[in-house]
Amino acid sequence: MDIRKLVKPNIRSLRAYHAEEIPCKVKLDANESPYSAISNQRSAISLEKNLQTLNRYPDPQAKALKNLIAKDLRIKSGNILHGNGSDELIYYMITTFGGPVMYPVPTFSMYGIISQALGEKKIEIPLDNKFDLDVEKILKGIEKYKPKLIFLSSPNNPTGNCFSSDKILRIIKATSFSKQRRGERPFAPTLSLVVVDEAYQPFTGKSEFLPLLGKYRNLVIMRTLSKIGLAGLRLGFLIANEEIINEVNKVRLPFNVNSLSQAVAIEALINKKQLRTYITSIISERKRLFREMEKIDGITPYPSDANFILFRAANAVRVYKCLLEKGVLIRDMTGVIENCLRVTVGTPGENTVFLKALKQLI
């Protein structure tokens, strides 16, 4: 019997997210932080306490964790929804609102994979030649396809740049709706939710969209702890108006974030100074990597606001394979952007190993 015949057609043609474990000495492929954001002593005390109550389900509302984040961001905890990584929140958004789902390409692949898994139509709009949003095409697409959801990863993965804020704002305004009075038609002809995925926001030093939440009710911001040293915990957050949060909360699995993750995240977030130190080091290493890569003949790095750098190399697949032979794992992006590879910023030592290997190769 061919089991595949039982599988829904949209799943049959789907390709699983590429997340292979490839053995290596220097791991610079997954945009993780090279530093674990938790000190051993603090996490041990917190874990010990929580291990004794593992017979109980976790707090379904993650109240303590959300309160801490709300205080930090100066918002209400009712404006936050917690997810098992932001991947899960993308799933929940598309489950709740459905499609069409619009996003620029190339971008984070999960927007497309989850849309397809849920049988929703995908509208992909190519970025312009500076990897910025082609806002005219997007606005036309909005008019034509009336997407329910628009995902904008800014900084964008894998290109590394922030999209122009004024372009993002134009898209938010074009699809926003003002508070409706009874009997009144919505203000804008197309209502879409614009999800600004700020997974890499800590490396930009900017937080422009958070203050706009009160003004634009169709704005949703997504953040994660994965890029700041806690990828193993699997914790992401949606930040939006309460009415959006309440709708998405209906599809959230009741105990989606386990108790150990909740407890350890609280410990890590309390120690803000430590988090800041790691982020500062990654930003300064990003600058060094960029400068050094620029000097290598045949390598063109693209400016980045994130914790990784996209670069072009003649014979990119060979460069990728040769680096791996030397124990340095980066990400092959040639299937997405011609001749491009992506390297995550590591510790100063790891970055030096990468640079040395790259120079030797070229």
Range in contact with ligand PMP (rule: CB under 6 A) among 16-24, 80-88, 182-190, 310-318: 80-88
Rounded to a whole number of angstroms, the minimum distance from the CB of residue 22 to ligand PMP is: 16
Helices 259-270 and 63-73: angle between axes, nearest 10 degrees: 30
Give the rounded distance of the alpha carbon of 129 from its chain centre: 22
CA 159, CA 104: separation in Å to the nearest integer?
11
Residue 153 or residue 361: which is nearer to ligand PMP going by CB? 153
Using CB under 6 A as the binding rule, whether residue 33 contacts ligand PMP is answered as no
Residue 28 or residue 357: which is nearer to ligand PMP going by CB? 28
Which residues pair with residue 302 across a beta bridge? Answer: none
Pairing of strands 122-126, 219-224: unpaired
Range in contact with ligand PMP (rule: CB under 6 A) among 84-92, 115-123, 166-174, 207-215: 84-92
Residue 167 or residue 342: which is nearer to ligand PMP going by CB? 342
Residue 151 or residue 354: which is nearer to ligand PMP going by CB? 151
Using CB under 6 A as the binding rule, whether residue 157 contacts ligand PMP is answered as yes
- From 108, 203, 320, 354, residue interacting with ligand PMP (rule: CB under 6 A): 108
Contact (Cβ atoms closer than 8 angstroms) between residue 131 and residue 302:
yes
Binding mask 209-228 for ligand PMP (x = CB under 6 A): ---------------x-x--
DSSP annotation of 27 reads E
CA distances from 144 to 89, 102, 174, 189 (A): 26, 12, 13, 11
- From 199, 240, 264, 355, residue interacting with ligand PMP (rule: CB under 6 A): 199
Using CB under 6 A as the binding rule, whether residue 154 contacts ligand PMP is answered as no
Contact (Cβ atoms closer than 8 angstroms) between residue 190 and residue 175:
yes
- From 50, 86, 116, 159, residue interacting with ligand PMP (rule: CB under 6 A): 86
In DSSP notation, 72-104 reads HHTS-GGGEEEESSHHHHHHHHHHHH---EEEE
Tokens of 102: 């619009």
CA distances from 263 to 40, 58, 193, 220 (A): 14, 10, 32, 26
Using CB under 6 A as the binding rule, whether residue 197 contacts ligand PMP is answered as yes
Which residues bind to ligand PMP, rule: CB under 6 A? 31, 85-87, 108, 153, 157, 197, 199, 224, 226, 231, 236
